[in-house]
Structure 1
Amino acid sequence: MTSTIPTEVAEEFAADVVLADDITGFPAPDPETVTEVFLTGATGYLGAFLLTDLLRQGLVVHCLVRGADTGAARRRLEENLRTYQLLDGLDMERVHVHTGDVTRPRLGLSEDVYDEVAGRIGAVYHSAAKVNFLTLYKWLRKSTVEATHEVLRFACAARATLHHVSTTGVFEPDRNRPPRGELDPTGPPEALSLGYTKSKWVAEQLVLEASRRGVPVTVHRPGQVWGDSRTGACQANDFVWRFIKGALQTGLYPRRFKLEMNMVPVDYVSAVIVAVSRRPEAVGGIYHQVSPGTLDSEEILRLLRSAGYELTEVSILKWMKAVAADVTNSMAPLLSILVESEKVEVAEFSDEITRELLKDSGISCPPIDEKVFGGYVEYFVRGGVLPAPEGRRH
């Protein structure tokens, strides 16, 4: 891992990229012999799929879950799995739920539980994140930056490899550069448009510094995580799906709107992270989970029409006025982000190191074509999130 912290960091972030002195290195355990692991973020979207894939590896998974007590935390975990059609068939006897919070000292665990779990696990998967595109960096610092310190401390106490989930959002958006590879420089944080991506950049710097101190880690940067390519299960609060729902609510679609993202199915992201984490030669590396190409506004409109929706193209201004006129519109609270997204360049990404590592694994990124997109639509129609396409309403 050769990525380094920039020599000059904006004052806002300078103190936050300093790793605590008590985080020190240790020899990496053999991932092929690890039988018990620790997972944060299991009640999130990607975390639910990571839990599923880890269980499929035959592992015992200790999940850190917020809740009033263990019973409430387990019910919350199981409901999340059920929402994404993952619960059936899972061996939940191998899931150990611990009530806690990544932002608190010792992860909110009692000293006895902290030590007992640390003595059992050989890997930590840190996918917990507060995803909020409207919040400033300073309001995400505790849940992202301070939490990363606590997770690193726990990994050190357990002498376990940390598998840290970051994001491709840590790269400065710039279409004029070649695709960003795993070892290309990230940031600078002041060039990142969202408080969320700034906080993820700072957290990643802490993990990279821990790696330089000898802590065994892997860093994973997914693109924009989208639905399960097999079942269609999606998260409704995703920015692009809110944009799509907003368009369907108005019956209008913004012409030549600048919306382009690297959308990648969640099942692929999870499969790559788990597969990489089980390879001894992967320790110390940075890995991208991205699609070969981007999904832009025109392709989204084509996919919507192929799914049976009838939308009238109008100017961006007319579309935004229609959204703003309806306070119940899915995109109404996000119009300010929409305006800013028009000004942001789109970065492209490369995943050569990741694909080389997994070339014999049989894992490949599914294309988001009419079949996969249609599965997403069906999932949301069943859940009452989207209206049925015109041809299916009768």
Structure 2
Amino acid sequence: MTSLTISEVTEEFADDVKLHEDITGFPAKDPRTVSEVFLTGATGFLGAFLLKELLARGLVVHCLVRSPDSDAGLERLKDNLSTYEILDDLDMDRVRVVSGDVTQPRFGLPESVYAELAERIGAIYHSAAKVNFLTLYKWLRKSTIDGTHEILRLACAAEAPLHHVSTTGVFDPTAEKEPRREIDPTGPPENLSLGYTKSKWVAEQLVREAGRRGVPLTIHRPGQVWGDSNSGACQKNDFVWRFIKGSVQAGLYPRKFRLEMNMVPVDYVSAAIVAITRDPESIGGTFHEVSPGTLNSEEILRLVRNSGYELKEVSIIKWMKAISVDVTNSMFPLMRTIVDMEKVEVAEFADGATREFLSDSGVTCPGIDEKVFDTYISYFVRHGILPERDI
């Protein structure tokens, strides 16, 4: 069993997990014959690196971008790729910008444009998500429910397999079963602490139901996606990096802070997803793109100090007081989250089935050691997000 039945879902989510009747199955294409694909989320973090991996495979990539027109969408896309220092490495002649909105019928495209797009693409990579850990589930409904249905409708129109990016956050952190395997049940949604993770759980249920109806698909659950292990390119609004920056700004670090997460480099996540989905045996599978272990607060402090920042350990109360009096501190808007972190159970995730699937691909997960962590710090210093170090 991998999910709850609709009858077992609480009233808040019961209607949302009902897949529309127009979503029906079709035969799977051999992914090795696909030359053009559709990608959502390319103006985000993981999506940018998925674009890089797909282009490296020689594919033409149609990127859905919310923008007034394709020219504006291309500029938005290029700005994002430049932020992560990968634009110069990409063959942008094989990128096609589709200006549209995932929540709108046919993405807001004219019927003829939509039909031509469906005719051309052979696979869909859906990594777009409204990532906001402070937003309630009800504010994510439209982007989650409508967006997932529209992506599935395109899959049916194109008869293109869907590769859906979910998250390990769909697991109940209080469940006794550990570590969570790819085949283990997720939810229930009322036990998930964030509106974001609840919305991702609902989206996964819709995708799973489509799979039961015969839509060829794969599901991918990354851990906490961190920077490129080679260039150091990171997303600056990641919670842990905001925590690190806030601590550096204050010159203080909370002693025995309850922080432990599965951090996984984005280059591994993107490479693993593309390698898996280019294999015809992957259809119907669920995969965990995670690191072998977790990073806890003490290990993060050690890595930060080794990177050249001297932080004084203080009690969590003193650290919170220092943050709360500085509105410019990176962690100031997230102080409520700090209180909630003390209540969160740390979950462990297994990826044995995924690693076995990747065993002949050459794709492996690099550990986040001092060298990799220093590339992250160097990236943030280059971009003026962290101050120069005393090294």
Q: Is this contact kept in 2: 1:175–1:346, CA < 8 A? A: no
- Unmatched runs of 5 consecutive residues or more in structure 2: none
C-alpha displacement of 1:175: 7.5
C-alpha displacement of 1:89: 2.8
Corresponding residue SS for 2:124: strand
RMSD over aligned CA atoms reads 0.9
1:175-324 equivalent positions in 2, closer than 5 A: 176-324=176-324
Corresponding residue SS for 1:131: coil
1:73-152 equivalent positions in 2, closer than 5 A: 73-152=73-152
Task: Name the counterpart of 2:331.
Answer: 331
- Unmatched runs of 5 consecutive residues or more in structure 1: none
**One-letter amino acid of the counterpart of residue 298, structure 1:** E
1:239-290 C-alpha deviation (Å, 9 max, x unpaired)? 0000001000100000000000000000000001000110000001000000
TM-score normalised by structure 1 residue count: 0.98
Classify 1:175/1:314 alpha carbon distance in 2 versus 1 (closer, same or farther; 3 Å).
Answer: farther
1:82-132 C-alpha deviation (Å, 9 max, x unpaired)? 111111131111101010010111012111110001001110000000100
1:153-186 C-alpha deviation (Å, 9 max, x unpaired)? 0110000000000000000113753200001000
Asked if 1:172 corresponds to 2:191, the answer is no
1:348-373 C-alpha deviation (Å, 9 max, x unpaired)? 00011111111011111100000000
Asked if 1:350 corresponds to 2:321, the answer is no
Q: Is this contact kept in 2: 1:136–1:194, CA < 8 A? A: yes
Task: Name the counterpart of 2:4.
Answer: 5
Task: Name the counterpart of 1:53.
Answer: 53
1:316-358 C-alpha deviation (Å, 9 max, x unpaired)? 0110010000011100110111110111101100011111111
**One-letter amino acid of the counterpart of residue 301, structure 1:** L
Looking at structure 1, the residues matched to 97 and 343 of structure 2 have their Cα atoms a distance apart, in angstroms, of 44
Q: Is this contact kept in 1: 2:119–2:158, CA < 8 A? A: yes
Looking at structure 2, the residues matched to 113 and 313 of structure 1 have their Cα atoms a distance apart, in angstroms, of 58
Q: Is this contact kept in 1: 2:170–2:200, CA < 8 A? A: yes
**One-letter amino acid of the counterpart of residue 374, structure 1:** D
**One-letter amino acid of the counterpart of residue 8, structure 1:** E
Looking at structure 1, the residues matched to 18 and 123 of structure 2 have their Cα atoms a distance apart, in angstroms, of 24
**One-letter amino acid of the counterpart of residue 4, structure 2:** I
**One-letter amino acid of the counterpart of residue 90, structure 1:** L
**One-letter amino acid of the counterpart of residue 37, structure 1:** V
Identity value in percent: 71
Q: Is this contact kept in 2: 1:175–1:345, CA < 8 A? A: no
**One-letter amino acid of the counterpart of residue 77, structure 1:** L
TM-score normalised by structure 2 residue count: 0.98
Looking at structure 1, the residues matched to 138 and 228 of structure 2 have their Cα atoms a distance apart, in angstroms, of 32
Looking at structure 2, the residues matched to 262 and 291 of structure 1 have their Cα atoms a distance apart, in angstroms, of 6
Task: Name the counterpart of 2:15.
Answer: 15
Looking at structure 1, the residues matched to 56 and 175 of structure 2 have their Cα atoms a distance apart, in angstroms, of 39
Corresponding residue SS for 1:88: helix
Q: Which moved more, 1:82-91 or 1:325-334?
A: 82-91
C-alpha displacement of 1:144: 1.6
Looking at structure 1, the residues matched to 350 and 25 of structure 2 have their Cα atoms a distance apart, in angstroms, of 30
Looking at structure 2, the residues matched to 129 and 281 of structure 1 have their Cα atoms a distance apart, in angstroms, of 27
**One-letter amino acid of the counterpart of residue 62, structure 2:** H
